[in-house]
Amino acid sequence: MTEKTIPYIQATPTLEGEDAERFWKEFQKNAEIKVPLTPTPKLEGLRKQLVEEWKQNSRLSLQVKPFFRWYDLWIGFYWDKANRDLYFCLLPTIGFKVSFRRVPRKKT
């Protein structure tokens, strides 16, 4: 199993000179956490279960908004991957923003 060492960080008093060097050497030697980089079958099963539960308890929302921006001098489509938005301009400066979101279902 591949492991990566992550140092544990905590507040420390201000030390100078040899005391600081000795402290940090001891700290780095004793404060290492081994974290597996590959998911275990148990974690993968839990992840799948949580994703399914999330899909069942939410719905896909689609929202379309027109926009005018004098500095947008382009024609075409643009997909904003981080925000899950689709922009398209049929005329320069005038376009539409289509937002795709998952929202919780209303409990009745």
Q: What is the helix (H) or strand (E) element at residue 23, kind and residue range?
A: helix 17-30
pLDDT in tens, 59-87: 888 899 999 999 989 999 999 988 889 99
pLDDT in tens, 84-103: 899 999 999 999 999 988 77
Looking at per-residue pLDDT, the higher value among 30 and 59 belongs to 59
Of 6-15, 34-43, 51-60, give the range with the top mean pLDDT.
Answer: 51-60
Residues 5, 34: Cα–Cα separation, whole Å: 5
Residues 70, 86: Cα–Cα separation, whole Å: 19
| Tokens coding 11 | 């507040």
Please tell me the predicted confidence (pLDDT) of residue 1: 46
Please tell me the predicted confidence (pLDDT) of residue 14: 58
Confidence class of residue 40 from pLDDT cuts 50, 70 and 90? confident
Q: What is the helix (H) or strand (E) element at residue 98, kind and residue range?
A: strand 94-104
Please tell me the predicted confidence (pLDDT) of residue 37: 57
Which sequence spans correspond to the domains of the chain? Answer: 59-108
Residues 38, 45: Cα–Cα separation, whole Å: 14
